[in-house]
Amino acid sequence: MPTFFEVEPQGRFDPTRIIEDMLNSNATSLLFNEGVLPDAFFDLSTGIAGELFNKTSTYQVRLACVVSDLTSHSEQFQSLVREANRGNDIGFFHTREEAIRWLDAT
């Protein structure tokens, strides 16, 4: 059964540090609960989401994000979520329970 690293709120959002913390904890996947992702993550022009996705791909880390109301974000972000949810490496979920079930299913 895979273990997941639950990301805590932090000052500056740093995907490299998040991956390092996860690897140091011997986890195999990441879980972002509602409210942990900064507003800039949802603005695709900042590149923060892309940077995080690139890091998780490089280190072969599964990523689950809890975002209960996708409609409050841009159409571009919603499109990214739909595309991500088609694969097995990145998933967006309405509840923490759904995200954990998905992480545990692998």
62 pLDDT above the threshold of 90: yes
pTM of the model: 0.92
Average pLDDT, the chain: 93
d(CA 75, CA 70): 9
Domain span at residue 77?
A: 4-104
Mean pLDDT of 80-84: 96
Mean pLDDT of 61-78: 96
Residue 45's domain is classified under what CATH number? 3.40.50
10 Å Cβ neighbour count for 69? 8
Q: Enter the tokens of residue 74.
A: 């841009």
User: What total number of domains does the chain contain?
Assistant: 1
10 pLDDT above the threshold of 90: no
d(CA 77, CA 103): 22
Percentage, residues of the chain above pLDDT 90? 88
